[in-house]
């Protein structure tokens, strides 16, 4: 390993490769900030450049830089305008956006940058030390466990089921799960609930729904509810430099979250069927449900932990996804599938032999990831005050700008104008729900996890000829019990605390 490390260091620190890291990170983080262009499209656009370079190490370093740069930058639009451009940053908007609304946009962006940096860096360390051993971990999970993992992720909705809101949160989750069934599922050869419309054949588009449920109703809320705007985005509190600082107390409460979520996120990223989105929801769910009661009440309203958890987890997961990619040649997501395609086009065959046959590629990529994470932090921190200023743009300019970006995001992926009709239709419904105080996050969580949950569930049912897999596979059972505990224990604690306060449970 030491020898490989040396080769990696000398390769990664060549002038060309350093330029590749910096260039890749720059492009990734800026394009990643735009909703509608996720890491997948950016990498697809960058591939011709990478192939022209010809040297596989340099090309992979560039593309990897674009990839984690895009994940790094992706949270910006979630935090500032509640417009998550990729599924992996949906959870970052849960607490990031409320923080920005409360005039702490600068602080939210700083927390996101620091969390991303820590998640990415610890992820690379784990990748460096454990990669050869981890290929077997990547194959540990079967469909049954993936299903159970999604159930754990679904427990994140508990954060939106606060007092008196439980029924509403459950209803919204169910609605999300139902919407995930629209279209030609991966496992059935018949379209469901498309009402004969060909545009619904592939189901609802993620970006269209994310914009319709999050960004659009927020923009409408700002227009229709002028009272709120005075304390909101025009409050004039943004852009002050002191906003950037993370206080000592906040740092102390963040630290364990960063540690836990770096490791948890990384291992979820290693699983080819999970990835950054699941990692961010799981990170949010776990941290929310193990937090103390006062902290728990903060979640969904601008909690430091609630923002740090998904940001750490999705960056660590993105690093973890390089394990199955490099050691098995199996892509865990659309983005890593495109990376794999680029590697094959460059005559590199990822698989168990890559580390033996071409160690310089493997190690150079790992070393470049350390450099890349540092570059991203150095690059982003000084820019935060300027980026946060976007919110002090007068509302009459800001809102059309948000609307333009949501429309562009929904249209750009498919070139299909029907997406715009779906966007506006659901945007209106979501606005009504928003005014009626229905939480919209559970709807989107249900929608994102629903499709994957159903796929894995029906595969497990088919392989075990029924529900047998729940009892026959200890890991599945363990994960399901864990999910139940995550939801039940905090509510039991809360109940007991309430009773004690009332002086009833004096035992």
Partner 1 sequence: MMKTTLTRRACAAAAAAAMSIATPALAESHGDGPMMDSIHFLIPGGAGGGWDGTARGTGEALTESGLVGTASYENMSGGGGGVAIRYMIDNSESQHGTIMVNSTPIVIRSLTGVFPQSFRDLTLIAGTIGDYAAFVVNTDSDIESMDDLLEAFRADPNGTAIGGGSVPGGMDHLVAAMVMESAGADPLDVNYVPYDAGGAAMAGLLSGEIQALSTGFSEAVDLANADEVRILGVTSPERVAAYEDAPTMMEQGLDVEFVNWRGFFGAPTLSDAEAQAYRDTLAAMYETEAWEEVRARNGWVNIHNSGDDFRAFLEEQEEAIGTLMRTLGFL
* Smallest gap from residue 192 Cβ to partner 1 (A): 12
**How far, in Å, CA of 51 to CA of 81, rounded?**
35
The answer to whether the CB of 247 falls within 8 A of the CB of 299 is: no
Q: Considering the complex, state which of residue 163 and residue 415 has its C-beta at the smaller distance from partner 1.
A: 415
Residue 119 burial (CB count, 10 A)? 36
- Please count the CA atoms within 13 angstroms of the CA of 201 that sit on its side-chain side: 7
Nearest to partner 1 of 25, 339 (CB atom): 339
C-alpha 181/C-alpha 201 separation (Å) is 11
Integer Cα distance of 61 and 22 in angstroms? 10
Would the CA dihedral through 290, 293, 296, 298 be positive or negative? negative
Q: Which two tokens stand for residue 289?
A: 């449900």
Pick 261 or 314: Cβ nearer partner 1: 314
CB-nearer residue toward partner 1: 206 or 370 = 206
By C-beta, is 246 or 337 nearer to partner 1? 337
Produce one character per residue of 402-414: b if its CB has 16 or more CB atoms within 10 Å, e if not. bbebbbbbbbebe
Cβ closest to partner 1, residue 239 vs residue 275:
275
Angle, alpha carbons 73-275-211 (nearest 5°): 50
CB of 451 to partner 1, least distance (A): 5
H-state helical runs in 271-383: 276-290, 293-298, 304-320, 322-327, 334-345, 354-357, 359-380
For partner 1, the closer CB: 195 or 227? 195
Q: Which is nearer to partner 1, 37 or 219 (CB)?
A: 37
Closer Cβ to partner 1, 7 or 49, answer by number: 49
Output the smallest distance, CB 261 to partner 1, in A: 24
- Tokens representing 117? 């940096």
Question: What is the rounded CA–CA span in Å between residue 130 and residue 226?
Answer: 54
Q: Which residues contact 139 (CB under 8 A, 6 or more apart)?
A: 328
* Cβ distance to partner 1 smaller for residue 50 or 379: 50
Whether residue 328 contacts residue 320, with contact meaning beta carbons closer than 8 Å, is answered with no
Minimum distance from CB of 331 to partner 1 (Å)?
4
Of the pair 381, 407, the CB lying nearest partner 1 is at 407
Q: Write down the H helix ranges in 82-188.
A: 90-99, 105-138, 143-154, 166-180
Residue 84 CB, nearest distance to partner 1 (Å)? 13
φ, ψ at 11 (rounded to 5°): -70, -45
Give least dist CB 333 to partner 1, A: 8
Name the minimum Å distance from CB 268 to partner 1: 15
Query: CB of residue 337 vs partner 1: minimum separation in angstroms?
Result: 4
Decide if 117 contacts 399 (C-beta within 8 A). no
Q: How far is the CB of 275 from partner 1 (least distance, A)?
A: 11
Question: CA–CA separation, 129 vs 459, rounded Å?
Answer: 34
Q: How far is the CB of 187 from partner 1 (least distance, A)?
A: 5
Which residues of this protein are in contact with partner 1, per CB under 8 A? Answer: 40-41, 44-45, 47-49, 51-52, 87, 138-143, 180, 184-191, 198-199, 201-207, 272-273, 324, 328-332, 334, 337-338, 340-342, 344-345, 349-353, 413-416, 418, 447-448, 451, 455, 459, 462-463, 465
Cα dist. 103→81, 93, 233, 288, 346 in Å? 13, 15, 7, 23, 48
The CB-of-413 to partner 1 minimum distance in angstroms stands at: 7
């Amino acid at each position: 390993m030491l020898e490989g490390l040396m080769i990696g260091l000398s390769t990664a620190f060549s002038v060309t490769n350093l330029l590749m890291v910096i260039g890749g990170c720059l492009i990734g983080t800026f394009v990643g900030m735009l909703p509608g262009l996720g890491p997948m499209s950016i990498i697809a656009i960058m591939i011709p450049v990478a192939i022209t370079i010809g040297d596989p190490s340099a090309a992979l370093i560039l593309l990897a830089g674009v990839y984690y740069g895009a994940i790094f930058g992706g949270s910006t639009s979630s935090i500032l305008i509640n417009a998550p451009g990729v599924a992996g940053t949906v959870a970052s908007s849960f607490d990031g956006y409320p923080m920005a609304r409360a005039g702490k946009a600068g602080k939210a962006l700083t927390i996101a940058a620091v969390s991303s940096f820590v998640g990415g860096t610890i992820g690379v360390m784990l990748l460096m030390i454990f990669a050869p051993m981890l290929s077997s971990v990547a194959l540990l999970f079967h469909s049954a466990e993936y299903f159970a993992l999604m159930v754990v992720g679904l427990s994140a909705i508990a954060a939106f089921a606060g007092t008196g809101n439980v029924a509403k949160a459950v209803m919204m989750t169910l609605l999300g799960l139902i919407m995930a069934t629209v279209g030609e599922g991966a496992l059935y050869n018949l379209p469901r609930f498309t009402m004969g419309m060909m545009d619904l054949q592939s189901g609802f588009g993620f970006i269209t729904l994310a914009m319709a449920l999050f960004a659009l109703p927020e923009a409408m809320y700002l227009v229709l509810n002028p009272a709120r705007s005075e304390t909101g985005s025009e409050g004039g509190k943004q852009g002050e430099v002191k906003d950037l600082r993370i206080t000592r107390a906040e740092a102390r409460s963040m630290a364990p979250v960063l540690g836990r979520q770096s490791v948890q996120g990384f291992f979820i990223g290693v699983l080819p069927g999970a990835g950054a989105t699941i990692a961010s929801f799981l990170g949010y769910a776990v941290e929310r449900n193990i937090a103390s009661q006062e902290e728990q009440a903060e979640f969904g309203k601008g909690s430091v932990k609630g923002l740090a958890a998904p940001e750490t987890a999705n960056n660590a997961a993105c690093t973890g996804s390089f394990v199955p990619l490099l050691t098995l040649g199996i892509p865990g997501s659309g983005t890593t599938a495109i990376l794999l395609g680029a590697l094959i086009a460059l005559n590199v065959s990822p698989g168990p032999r890559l580390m033996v046959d071409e160690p310089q590629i493997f190690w150079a990529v790992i070393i470049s990831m350390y450099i890349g994470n540092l570059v991203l932090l150095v690059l982003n921190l000084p820019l935060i005050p300027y980026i946060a200023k976007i919110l002090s743009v007068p509302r009459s300019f800001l809102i059309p700008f948000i609307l333009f970006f949501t429309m562009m995001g929904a249209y750009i992926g498919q070139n299909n104008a029907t997406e715009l009709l779906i966007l506006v239709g659901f945007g209106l419904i979501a606005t009504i729900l928003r005014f009626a105080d229905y939480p919209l996050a559970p709807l989107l969580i249900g929608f994102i996890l629903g499709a994957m949950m159903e796929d894995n569930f029906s595969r497990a049912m088919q392989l075990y000829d029924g529900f047998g897999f729940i009892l026959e596979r200890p890991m599945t059972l363990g994960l399901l019990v864990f999910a139940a505990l995550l939801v039940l224990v905090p509510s039991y604690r809360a109940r007991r605390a309430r009773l004690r306060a009332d002086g009833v449970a004096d035992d």
